[in-house]
């Protein structure tokens, strides 16, 4: 599984691809120089339950750490993963 990050203007996303086939996408909005809001997660039905959403979230968390950015997870999926996974909460906006 390959996860790519793309960003332009005030929007960005993580896209998961499996052998050139789209497996999922997680979108975010840039709310400022040090804040992003994860607003939507979409995983293709064939990839449900295979950790695709979590992999995309971890890629965004990795980017946030490298740029010293905080995250607000409005997306219910992202919020649930942050709730269950203590080791990524360092990028969560309190």
Domain that holds residue 20: 2-91
pLDDT of 94: 81
pLDDT of 86: 97
pLDDT of 34: 96
pLDDT of 50: 97
Q: What is the CATH number of the domain that holds 39?
A: 3.40.630.30
pLDDT of 61: 98
SS (H, E, C) the chain: CEEEEEEECCEEEEEEEECCEEEEEEEEEEEECCEEEEEEEEECHHHCCCCHHHHHHHHHHHHHHHHCCEEEECCHHHHHHHHHCHHHHHHECC
Give the chain's residues under pLDDT 50. none
Number of separate domains in the chain: 1
pLDDT of 5: 98
For residue range 5-17, list pLDDT tens digits in order: 999 999 999 999 9
């Amino acid at each position: 599984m390959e996860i790519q990050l793309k960003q332009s203007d005030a929007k960005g996303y993580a896209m998961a691809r499996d052998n050139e086939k789209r497996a999922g996408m997680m979108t975010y909005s840039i709310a400022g120089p040090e804040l992003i809001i994860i607003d939507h997660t979409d995983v293709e039905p064939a990839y449900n339950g295979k950790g695709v959403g979590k992999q995309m979230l971890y890629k965004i968390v990795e980017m946030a750490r490298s740029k010293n950015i905080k995250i607000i997870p409005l997306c219910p999926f992202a919020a649930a993963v942050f709730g269950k996974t203590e080791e990524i909460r360092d990028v969560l906006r309190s």
